[in-house]
């Protein structure tokens, strides 16, 4: 077991603050030694670069759980299959990777699929990287909302998935609201582009209040202060920044989706800034 950190921490602490400092230095050195030992073991977590096998586990579990959630409402519809196919397209999955994703989706639909066991394994592989769990759950929410509606059975299964990943019911409800807002925000943006290109103008365009969805994407209400709105924006960007997620082990196939999410957050913030007259 490594002891270098304990020795150095003890001596430095003793020199600076005598006995209390020595104890503090010993504790800090112990944490350092634990991290060094984990890195040498090559275990899961934040102390090393994730392996390709772990990234493959991410993709397999993502599509298997997507199939399981789709099946929760009863018979898997053609629309739900198209949603899974759309995700494969967004990831640029081709050849063997695409076939593996399709197989994973089918496995998740099977009655004997072990949802609890699969998510327990996946959660262990993400230990020390909670942002990956959030991205994983966000992907499931996007898939569930892809048709603009959420079946009650699918909602219950999403809650089960969230709890198995360590999220509370309150966190899931917030993420559900953010996912629904993201769907509407994107849909409204597409409508704006069509109306603008046709010369109809935004004033004639029907639809939801896009600003309200922008606030929901950041996880705040419209009555927050400017400082809190900016804080929420920075928090969301930090959690979804593609480079940070890549460093934590997000599969390269999901980088396009991560970039799309970051762009959505940025667009929401730009709309809020414009409405508030912020620079």
Domain count, the chain: 3
Q: Are residues 102 and 164 in the same domain?
A: yes
State the chain's mean pLDDT as an integer.
Answer: 78
Mean pLDDT computed over 30-38? 50
Asked if 57 and 162 sit in the same domain, the reply is yes
Model confidence band, residue 197 (pLDDT cutoffs 50, 70, 90): low
At residue 196 the predicted structure's pLDDT band, cuts being 50, 70 and 90, is low
Is 56 contained in some domain?
yes
Residues with Cβ < 8 Å from 127, sequence gap 6 or more? 44, 45
pLDDT tens-digit readout, 39-97:
444 443 444 456 778 778 888 999 999 999 988 877 788 888 888 998 899 888 889 88
Both 29 and 119 in a single domain? Answer: no
Domain membership of residue 232 (yes or no) is yes
- Residue pair 249/50 in contact (Cβ under 8 Å)? The answer is yes
Assess whether 62 and 144 both reside in one domain. Answer: yes
Residue 218: per-residue pLDDT: 92
Phi-psi group of 233: left, alpha or beta (phi > 0 → left; psi -120 to 50 → alpha; rest → beta): alpha
Give domain status of residue 177, yes or no: no
Residue 87 and residue 161 in one domain: yes
What is the per-residue pLDDT for 34? 52
| Location of structure tokens 């066991």 | 117
Residue 89 in domain: yes
Range of the domain at 23: 1-41
pLDDT tens digits, one per residue of 114-162 = 999 999 999 988 876 788 888 899 889 888 876 666 778 888 899 899 9
> Same domain for 107 and 150?
yes
How high is the pLDDT of residue 206? 39
- Do 258 and 222 share a structural domain? yes
Asked whether residue 63 is domain-assigned, the answer is yes
What is the CA 25 to chain-centroid distance, rounded? 36
Judge whether 228 lies within some domain.
Answer: yes
- One domain, residues 121 and 63: yes
Looking at the domain assignment, is residue 75 inside a domain?
A: yes
- Same domain flag for 136 and 217: no
Q: Are 67 and 104 in a shared domain?
A: yes
Q: What is the CATH number of the domain that holds 252?
A: 1.10.287.110
SS (H, E, C) 87-143: HHHHHCCCHHHHHHHHHHHHHHHCCCCCHHHHHHHHHHHCCCCHHHHHHHHHHHHHH
What is the reported pLDDT for 108? Answer: 94
pLDDT of residue 56: 85
Q: State residue 65's pLDDT score.
A: 95
Confidence of residue 259 (pLDDT cuts 50, 70, 90): confident
Residue 239 lies in a domain: yes
Give the end of a domain, one of 169, 189, 216: 169
d(CA 16, CA 4) in angstroms, rounded, equals 18
Pair 161, 71 in one domain: yes
Return the ∠ at Cα 109 (arms to 94 and 117), rounded to 5°: 100
Q: Domain check: are 258 and 228 in the same one? A: yes
């Amino acid at each position: 077991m490594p002891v270098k950190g304990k020795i150095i921490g003890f001596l430095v602490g003793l020199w600076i603050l005598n006995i209390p400092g020595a104890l503090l230095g010993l504790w800090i050195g112990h944490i350092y030694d634990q991290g060094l030992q984990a890195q040498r073991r090559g275990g899961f977590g934040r102390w090393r670069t994730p392996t390709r096998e772990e990234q493959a586990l991410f993709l397999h579990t993502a599509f298997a759980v997507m199939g399981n959630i789709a099946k929760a409402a009863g018979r898997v519809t053609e629309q739900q299959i198209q949603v899974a196919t759309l995700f494969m397209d967004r990831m640029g999955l081709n050849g063997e990777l695409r076939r593996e994703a399709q197989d994973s989706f089918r496995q998740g639909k099977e009655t004997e699929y072990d949802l609890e066991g699969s998510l327990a394994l996946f959660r262990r592989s993400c230990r020390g990287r909670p942002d990956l769990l959030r991205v994983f759950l966000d992907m499931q929410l996007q898939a569930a909302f892809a048709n603009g509606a959420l079946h009650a059975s699918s909602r219950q299964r999403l809650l089960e998935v969230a709890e198995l990943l360590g999220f509370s019911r309150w966190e899931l409800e917030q993420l559900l609201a953010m996912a629904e807002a993201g769907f509407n925000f994107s849909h409204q943006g597409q409508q704006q582009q069509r109306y603008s290109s046709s010369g109809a103008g935004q004033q004639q365009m029907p639809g939801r209040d896009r600003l309200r969805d922008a606030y929901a994407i950041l996880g705040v209400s419209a009555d927050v202060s400017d400082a809190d709105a900016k804080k929420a924006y920075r928090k969301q960007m930090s959690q979804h920044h593609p480079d940070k997620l890549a460093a934590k082990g997000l599969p390269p196939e999901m980088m396009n989706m991560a970039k799309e999410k970051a762009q959505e957050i940025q667009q929401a913030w730009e709309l809020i800034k414009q409405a508030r007259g912020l620079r």
